[in-house]
Amino acid sequence: MANGMTFDEAKHRVDELVTLLDKYSHQYYVLDQPTIPDEDYDRLYRELVNLEELYPTLIQNNSPTQRVGGTLLEGFEKVQHDSPMLSLDNAFSKEELESFDRRMNQLIDEPFTYHCELKIDGLAVSLKYEDGKLVQAVTRGDGTVGENVTANVRTIKAIPLSLKEPLTLEARGEIYMPKSSFLALNQQREEQGEAVFANPRNAAAGTLRNLDPKVTASRNLSIFLYSLPQLSNRDVHSQNDALNLLDSLGIKTNPERQVLSSIDEVWSFVKEYQEKRNSLPYEIDGIVIKVNELEQQEKAGYTVKAPRWAIAYKFPAEEAKTIIRDIEWTVGRTGVVTPTAIMDPVRLAGTTVQRASLHNVDLMKEKDIRLFDTAIVRKAGDIIPEVVRIDKELRNKDSEPYSYPTHCPACDSELMHLDDEVALRCMNPRCSAQAKEKLTHFVSRNAMNIDGVGVSVVTQLYEKELVKDPVDLYFLTKEQFLTLDKVGDKSADNMLKAIKESKTNSLERLLFGLGIRHVGSKAARLLAEEFLTLEGVSTASLEAIQSIEGIGEKIAESIHAFFELEEVKVLISKLEEAEINLSYTGIRKEEVEQVDSFFTDKTVVITGKLEQFKRNDLKERLEILGAKVTGSVSKNTDYLIAGEEAGSKLTKAQELEIPILSEADVLKELNER
């Protein structure tokens, strides 16, 4: 017996955890409707990991722990598709859609409808399930033969490893990278001096075809399935039926779809989503129109390359021409120097843009970008304006190659172009631009969360030499704050109060705020949970850091090297002198199993002005204790926590006879835990 459980009890609990985690993952990644806090999911996940370590024979192929990615792949096996993954013919105008409609009416010669779907800009794949279990994932390849990417696909949380029914089927769809993930990935790569991806599709393709599944696991890919080519013993008569069946099995499909009866309605759908495309969280490049009824599809038939019964309407490229007037170089907190083109204003994807990312020196040289060039710009993934190419036919005859900076624009130190990086980097640890960026990061919401101390205040504090590093903030006086522009008596008091309150933050916030290269908020929490104190983290061996699940080799090396620096050791002494909390105050690993509080499994709403808590801190504490904190009062709300000047939410809670808790009530329950 281990962990207080018999083997049979452990097996039952593993089965229960796999089922629960699969359900919560589906709600989060497929339905976009999470029902438990992240901390609760992490707690259950760690419990499963512990049980699987104690009883390795209980590890199931469909366990969520098997998504993290295994060893490096030597290459991708070639796999022949059971039936070809055909491409689609394209249309670029309303007239071409009307021509398609006339062909369909001639070929089918009886009533039918159209099924309209968004054309996701990603990478086509085929998923095979046997008896409800994912057994194979293959890229489209040349349509006949693709690459076996099963190991990588298993890491994508939007793809179920098990279906809700034990069916054998093949489903086809598009793997994509959400815009938010693309933006975060490129920002991270720029900070690290690595080449950026041109668009979300390239990022998705590069990620899926990476030979290290752990890379795929780390980049938050997703999927929409749109085809069910092979399925027996099911009552499926249309494309709409097929997608509804996929939904019922727990497979993610795109909800933005409609069955329409005429080509005029199809055109209205096209125009609607051409307008909406910039507001979607993923990139689309058109609309796919299919004959909805499967029997009518068979009547229409196929050509060698494409089905006759479907067509893809491609949106026109959203690009614009403008003149590059200047190139601005900025220094990030890791020292990477990034170029930005300053251009004549131009309308692009519904907004006026005047600045565009040039990413790094290598890309500038590759595109031969010069001042006063005519540039073609677009929004990469409909997010960030970037220069796609230069129209060299319009270049002035006396144009000269751009002279790249050799010294930092902030501190005038010599810039380095390291062999393994595509970016210029300022190596001066005392660089003023880096210092200001580090200070801004330290006070940010996800770090120490010091309200009121924003970019303007940080810049003034640094330029007046009132702070040189983040810990200097804790030694500031009211008189010093009052020397700043636009800072009055009340705002000085508020900032001092916010600084004082941040001293009690849990260790993971401080670790994230220190700006250790490669360490995000999740890695910071993992470190805090493992080592409990800043001393524990700073003195941990490289091997001990690498042993933490979720901390890769590169992150571990960066953490270890950071705490070896003499200036960091001085910084830690200053943190102690400032009486900043250097311990983890969240739930510890050994306590995870024992969490049971007044708030466990309760739905809670917070309203009004709080005196004893910061709203986000209270929300975080309640969620750690198992509460679901929501923003609106309903009949499903268990408690309303009401501060001063509570308004309509308090009135509604009283009408629904929902129990009202004061801050004193909450403190009492928290202290009794």
DSSP 179-200: HHHHHHHHHHHHHTTPPPPSSH
Q: What is the pLDDT of residues 323-349, one digit of tens each?
A: 999 999 988 877 888 899 999 998 886
Instruction: Please give the residue that has the higher pLDDT: either 664 or 484.
Output: 484
In the chain, which residues fall in CATH 1.10.150.20? Answer: 432-577
Residue in 670, 576, 590 with CA at minimum distance from that of residue 626: 670
Give the per-residue pLDDT at 30: 60
CA dihedral 116, 121, 126, 127 (to 10 degrees): -90
In the chain, which residues fall in CATH 1.10.287.610? Answer: 7-67
Give the per-residue pLDDT at 72: 44
Angle at 267 between CA 265 and CA 272, to 5 degrees: 95
Instruction: Please give the residue that has the higher pLDDT: either 65 or 466.
Output: 466
Check if 119 is active-site.
yes
Angle at 619 between CA 618 and CA 622, to 5 degrees: 85
Q: What is the pLDDT of residues 147-205, one digit of tens each?
A: 899 888 988 989 999 998 888 899 999 999 998 888 888 888 877 777 788 778 888 88
- Residues 6 or more apart whose CB falls under 8 angstroms from that of 556 comprise 542, 545, 546, 548
Distance CA 327, CA 369 (A): 10
Superfamily for 432-577? 5' to 3' exonuclease, C-terminal subdomain (1.10.150.20)
- Which spans in 390-541 are helix H? 432-443, 455-463, 478-481, 489-502, 507-513, 521-531, 534-538
Average pLDDT, the chain: 85
How crowded is the C-beta side of 103, counted as CA atoms within 13 Å? 17
CATH class held by domain 319-416:
mainly beta
Residue in 209, 184, 182 with CA at minimum distance from that of residue 198: 182
Q: How far is CA 372 from the centre of its chain?
A: 36
* pLDDT higher than 60, residue 589: no
- Of residues 119, 179, 252, 628, which has the active-site annotation? 119
Which of 26-40, 141-155, 255-269, 386-400 has the highest average model confidence (pLDDT)? 255-269
- Average pLDDT of the segment spanning 125-147: 89
Q: How confident is the model at residue 2 (pLDDT cuts 50, 70, 90)?
A: low
SS (H, E, C) 428-446: CCCCHHHHHHHHHHHHCCC
* pLDDT higher than 90, residue 92: no
Question: Among the listed ranges 555-569, 585-599, 600-614, 624-638, which one has the minimum average pLDDT value?
Answer: 585-599
Q: What's at 73, amino acid-wise?
A: L
Give the per-residue pLDDT at 336: 86
Backbone conformation region of residue 441, classed left if phi is above 0, alpha if psi is from -120 to 50, else beta: alpha
In the chain, which residues fall in CATH 2.40.50.140? Answer: 319-416
* pLDDT higher than 60, residue 594: no
* pLDDT higher than 70, residue 629: yes
In the chain, which residues fall in CATH 3.40.50.10190? Answer: 596-672
Instruction: Please give the residue that has the higher pLDDT: either 27 or 93.
Output: 93
Give the per-residue pLDDT at 71: 46
Give the per-residue pLDDT at 36: 74
Q: How confident is the model at residue 33 (pLDDT cuts 50, 70, 90)?
A: low
Q: How confident is the model at residue 369 (pLDDT cuts 50, 70, 90)?
A: very high
The CATH label, of 1.10.287.610, 3.30.420.40, 1.10.10.10, 2.60.40.1150, for the domain at 7-67 is 1.10.287.610
Domain 89-314 falls in which CATH fold? Answer: D-amino Acid Aminotransferase; Chain A, domain 1 (3.30.470)
Give the per-residue pLDDT at 621: 77
Distance CA 369, CA 375 (A): 8
* pLDDT higher than 50, residue 593: no
Q: What is the pTM of this model?
A: 0.57
Check whether domain 596-672 has CATH 3.40.50.10190, yes or no? yes
Distance CA 624, CA 38 (A): 9
Give the per-residue pLDDT at 170: 92
Answer yes or no: are the C-beta atoms of 421 and 194 closer than 8 Å: yes
Give the per-residue pLDDT at 70: 46
Give the per-residue pLDDT at 198: 74
Structure tokens at 603: 């739905």
* pLDDT higher than 60, residue 426: yes
In the chain, which residues fall in CATH 3.30.470.30? Answer: 89-314
pLDDT above 70 coverage of the chain, percent: 92
